[in-house]
Structure 1
Amino acid sequence: MRLRLPNISGLLKLLALSALVSCLPSQRRQLTDFQLSALIDSHPPLPALSPNYYTKTTTASSRSAQSSSGASNGQNNNNPAALLTPILIPRTPGSENATIVRNHFTTHFDALSNWTAVTDAFTATVPEYGGVMGMLNFTNLIFRLTPPGSDDMPSRYLTLVAHYDSKISPFGFIGATDSAAPCAILMYLAETLTPYILARWKADISAAADDTGLQIIFMDGEEALVEWSDKDSLYGARHLAELWEAERRPSQFGRLSVLQDIDLFVLLDLLGADSPSVPCFFEITSWACRDIAETEATARNAGLAKTKGRKPFVQSDNVMQNVFIDDDHMPFLTRGTPVVHVIPIPFPTVWHTMDDDGAHLSSDAVHDWAVIVTGWVAGYLGLGDFIA
């Protein structure tokens, strides 16, 4: 991603206003203290999300081997599977490690009930790097949990996104906050909420077809290969947004493209460092920022947060007017998709340095982000009554 100071154009304002109808929330209910506590107690984020889940002496290659051989076949309280540590390896686009990490994602979702996978593999022209100029293969992975009975009417999806690629330079860069930790949090969220989502749909099968599904995207090629530009960055996001915009819908559905099946596009990035401060970037989706902040307050009041005595992570009363960030949401935002960008300002001090590794992650912060995001999504999808 790239931070810049913009002159907000009238075009973007019009695009934001055009998204107003589609981004107004359906009736949602925040989880109570009791419901959130029951949810997290039944499925604790740690040790699965601990950067030190494997011993510190374990090499990256052996972690990769564990990942590819089934280290993430789901988790339970007696035998948790590592979610984060298998991603803490260099994973540049087109590399063997990128394939290992994708297999980690796929193995995890294959073990969950009712999820379907879509692979968006493509080849793009890239600038010269490492003495090579030409084409490079990229792969986006999309996982969907779709309401039953919705075959005749396309479902809308709450869409959660993180990029999984890492920078080519400096050599050996891992990108723990950028964005291994967000990817692992999305894996945890899917595993934790799947049984409750399915229980909700089973309880009212007649209404399930009109319910909101859950879509998780692991985006490739967010990082620039040489120097950030409109053409050397956001490879996966640019390709997927263009693809879905071109995939047309019959007009009677009220949505003209697959892109419009996105209920809300929530991008997680640079999460896992200590003491983050995440503002709200778009007034039109500030309602979602406030809901996330409310979930954080509930988690802290219930004693579920491991970070103590610090200001809240989410600053929902701070809507940034003069800061603009180029990131994977941009190709979707410019097409009118409602966006929530969960990214701290300022960026973590380890950003784009070799210190952005597992040793510099805050396990407590990763834990709390998992609780906050998972609890918020549970409320968004109306799961409170199904959490014992």
Structure 2
Amino acid sequence: MRVHHLLLLPAILRSAVLAYTPLSESTIQGLPSPGKDFDIKDGALLSPILIPRVPGTPGSEQVLQHFVDFFSDTLPDWKLSFQNSSSTTPVSNGKEVPFRNLIATRDPPWVEREGEVGRLVLVAHYDSKLTPKDFIGATDSAAPCAMLMHAARSIDNALTQKWDDMAGDALDELEDQKGIQIILLDGEEAFSSWTDTDSIYGARALAEEWENTYHPPLSTFSTPLASMDLFVLLDLLGSPPQRVPSYYKTSHWAYLNMADLESRLRKMGSFKSSPNHKSKRFSNEPRKKEPMFLYEADKKDTDRWTGGYIGDDHVPFIARGVEVLHIIPSPFPDVWHHPDDDGEHLDPDIVEDWALLTVTFAAEWMDLEGYLDDGKKDRRSAEVLKDELNGEMT
């Protein structure tokens, strides 16, 4: 079956075909921690984003350069590209404001042309609101951007290991043509008040351009939009409350995958924000009920699905048929669009927990069990054992 036929299948069938091996507990425990990289004062990933970054301002350019430097210096195998646009805004007095989207892509090395790879797409916006003055937007969405940077770095070596091991093998048409893409969008925030034309400037421009950008004839995927197996949008993460419903019935299968991961991580004691984490209770205390981020794993088809009620960067993509998993709390965090949405009001444990959940979701999607740090140790041990056995037989 060709992938472009797969995209026409119901979501439940697509999720069954896009199979992967769940991460083992030992693999999860061996995943890299962000360490001090999320420190709000001098963390290498997060702190450079915690500045005002209104589109078209020096702060925006500075943060964009931070992303470019990170990928160029740390993850050189990721292909960087930009999608640029400009638009007037209600407050620009007729002047065009520039919007620059950054796209970082990692595809299997044997892929020779565009249009042959389906991708997991992880998305956040990096701009901040014009008002209130000097607004930072730590949850909205500096912290989600840092989470995506950490996720890319955490799985990069494993992708290399997996694809190196696969070189020369017979490739499965569906499972082995998977790539990953991170999109950092500009211009999500309204300059005056949210309308269809004063919001999501970068997302609207990118979706329109990619809808009309065609891959070579006979490609598996006709456009960059068709290449998106799942569009995962992170927004307003890092400060309470953090309860994320399942917004869309068509992507509930992906929500269930992430919710299952969260449940496993909580049972393992890996979530630092959990009241049951070892740092928050004595060993002889009874366990408390876990406050799940993704709390609608038992949602039924007949329940209320509220995907159309929240305007965000996913809107122009889902309108064009892209499958979307929207990770945004409802209700919004208490600091939403308030001057207190700054680094000091982030909950470091919540930020780390969302980062871990994002890493594990991406790693499972890319089927990296056995290729992360713990897995590499296992493979080396197996190779040593094989050599020893061969030596005994000669």
Structure 2 Cα separation of the partners of residues 382 and 196 of structure 1: 10
Structure 2 Cα separation of the partners of residues 18 and 199 of structure 1: 31
The residue correspondences of 1:1-388 to structure 2 (distance < 5 A) are 20=11, 24=15, 26-39=18-31, 43-52=32-41, 54=42, 82-111=44-73, 112-129=75-92, 132-152=93-113, 154-205=116-167, 206=169, 207=171, 210-309=176-275, 310-315=290-295, 316-318=297-299, 320-322=304-306, 324-387=309-372, 388=374
Question: CA contact under 8 A between 1:266 and 1:342: conserved in structure 2?
Answer: yes
Structure 1 Cα separation of the partners of residues 9 and 202 of structure 2: 25
TM-score (norm 1): 0.83
Structure 2 Cα separation of the partners of residues 322 and 106 of structure 1: 35
Question: CA contact under 8 A between 1:280 and 1:317: conserved in structure 2?
Answer: no
Secondary structure at the counterpart of residue 105 of structure 1 = helix
Higher strand content, 1 or 2? 1
Q: Which runs of 5+ in 1 are unaligned?
A: 1-15, 55-80
Please identify, of 224-233 and 299-308, the stretch whose mean Cα deviation from structure 2 is larger.
Answer: 299-308
Listed one character per residue, the Cα deviations across residues 40-87 of structure 1 (whole Å, up to 9, x for unaligned) are: xxx2123111324x3xxxxxxxxxxxxxxxxxxxxxxxxxx6111110
The alpha-carbon distance between structure 1 residues 270 and 126, as it changes in their structure 2 partners (threshold 3 A), is: same
Secondary structure at the counterpart of residue 40 of structure 2 = coil
Structure 2 Cα separation of the partners of residues 143 and 21 of structure 1: 28
User: If you compute each CA radius of gyration, which structure gives the higher value, 1 or 2?
Assistant: 2
Listed one character per residue, the Cα deviations across residues 19-57 of structure 1 (whole Å, up to 9, x for unaligned) are: 749953511222121111112xxx2123111324x3xxx
Structure 2 Cα separation of the partners of residues 101 and 328 of structure 1: 19
Identity among equivalent positions (%) equals 39
Q: CA RMSD in A?
A: 2.0
Q: Which runs of 5+ in 2 are unaligned?
A: 1-6, 276-289, 375-394
Question: CA contact under 8 A between 1:147 and 1:211: conserved in structure 2?
Answer: yes
Structure 1 Cα separation of the partners of residues 255 and 344 of structure 2: 30
Letter in structure 1 aligned against 2:118: R
Listed one character per residue, the Cα deviations across residues 309-361 of structure 1 (whole Å, up to 9, x for unaligned) are: 24111123347524521100000000000000000010001000101000100
The alpha-carbon distance between structure 1 residues 18 and 239, as it changes in their structure 2 partners (threshold 3 A), is: farther
